[in-house]
Amino acid sequence: MALQFTTEVQTKDGFTIQNAYGRVAVGDSYTGTEVSGNVEIYVTEQAFVTGARPVKTSFIQDAIVPYNRDTEGTDILNIAHDALVAQLALQGIVATKVL
């Protein structure tokens, strides 16, 4: 899964990216009570596919949320995507999951 940005993304270098593409890395805590996600942002999906480096931004690109395997299941990648969408929204950035 990935994130598709519908809000313009500003890089630290001052460039504006339309329709940026984000790839998410996810992990769970050793206690199994939190899920963390981080999104790396690329100019396009093709930039990611061809091995380009992610762009640097000044906004928060990670999120940590409480997690209960018994009630939320085992798809921590989906949970991380939802957490990142919510974290980005708090900063005025709109992104959607790409399945």
Collapsing DSSP to helix, strand or coil, 39 comes out as: strand
What does each of the 99 residues of the chain score in pLDDT, given as a tens digit?
A: 899 999 999 999 999 999 999 999 999 988 889 999 999 999 999 999 999 999 999 999 999 999 998 899 889 999 999 999 999 999 999 999 997
The confidence score (pLDDT) of residue 54 equals 98
Phi/psi at 36 (nearest 5 deg)? -120, 145
In terms of C-beta density within 10 A (0-12 exposed, 13-18 middle, 19 or more buried), how is residue 1 classed?
middle
pTM: 0.93
The confidence score (pLDDT) of residue 32 equals 86
**DSSP 8-class letter at 80:** H
The confidence score (pLDDT) of residue 99 equals 77
